[in-house]
A and B are shown apart, each in its own frame.
Chain A
Amino acid sequence: MSETKEIHIPLGPSPEKWDLLSKGIDPFGDQMILQMGPQHPATHGVLRLELKTDGEVVTKITPYIGYLHRCFEKVAESVTYPQVIPYTERMDYLAGMNMALSYVLAVEKLREIEVNDRVETLRVLVCELNRIASHCVAIGTFALDIGAWTPLLYLFQVREHILDLLEELSGARMLFNYIRIGGLAHDIPTGWIDKVREFCTYMDPKIPELNGLLSYNKIYIERLAHVGVMSQDVALQYGITGPNLRATGFDYDMRRDAPYSGYEKYDFQPQIGAGEQGTPGDCWDRYIVRVREMEESLKIIRQACDRMPEGDVKETIPKSLRKMPEGEVYVTTEAPRGELGIYLVSDGTDKPYRVKARSGAYCSVAAVPAISLGGLIADLVAIVASIDIVLGEVDR
């Protein structure tokens, strides 16, 4: 027989604070500490924000991360080179292809493998498809946090098409393991390119529809314009990259400025924010940059479909990765949530000596306090949604 034990839950202020209170001093002031997360609908995973609030006005923000820490970098040191690929895809699980590409390019640079044109084109194709899928979730959850439910469902339909395509290609819907060191897991199925073209036709009217329903909605603009303004200085200080940096008006896109995987062969325009509805770098700019980026990705996908060269996708896959050249490489790519840099050190064995991932979302989280102080709680929700973080990538 176990005895029932009364659980004592301490209520109210601590004894020291009671002393202050009894002397007529309010130890709390007018401010309240509020824990937003790790379980909160608007933190996009398991982010914890410790807020100090004065009424609804946020006066202090401290982000706490690490709730989704999975030791990616340490695990990568104890598995062989190809075995790291699935772990990379679990960082930003919404854009697995882009994550894997960065790591694979790093290993290829170390090993000095030149892949053929077909592999490069297919990699660009799947990465851009995945970028659209990732932006769909970003924009959809953004709208959800502002209180509009319906765009999320519309965008998930688009994403569903992409996931179907990628599933047919790789067998998985989110964690593909399709991009391999020196090539791809296998060639595309028959007729797959036509399906991608069909998807492009399907996608075309969706963005004007989204703009009509959400982007230029008066309430939506009122909620987002002038909110969470990130100046170029702040963005550069915090190392912000990707759509968040472009939204400040800083014209910088890895795909154009430091092309990899043959991006220089495509005609597209990186989108920058211009403060159309408010100040450059506000939440609305961060939103619209992503919408327009989806259109640009669609352009790249069309071009990739048209120029799809012949070739063997497994041609350059190395027979063995037991002996790697010693040395270190750093490769960055433009992932949907900012630059993903992989720093790889090899000691000549079959396992990496060190893998360091530099993720865009991590920097974005760091910038949250700098851009949202003095706003309301509702603004903070909009800002956290607008910087578009995936905690898997932040914590790794």
Chain B
Amino acid sequence: MLREIILLLLIVVAGTGGELCLTRAMKTIGEVHDFRPLSLLRVFGRALRVGWMWIALLLMTAGFFALLAMLSLENVSFVVPVTALSYAAGALGGKLFLGERVAPLRWVGVLLVCAGVTLVWIGKG
């Protein structure tokens, strides 16, 4: 059980940290308007010149390997829903790290997601 908890924490912390860095990197690039393949390649080329993107990739890779390890131990219908814990981390991180104004209704949604995650964990049996 301890092994699962450590892996889950790693998935949530590294995954959410990586996504927050990814958001910061993409906001630096600016809104994408042109979805043609060549333009998208140029966007990704620009993104790779932003330091935050590399930190994001590093953290998300760590989270990915933790996910693989957990998937080798538990069912996907358990593993993926419990990683929804990252919603709480994401909303908090969005507010603290990116200065996003998280509406009260959005907090209610996030809390419900957390309650659901708790039930999924309890339902593991």
A and B assemble together: no
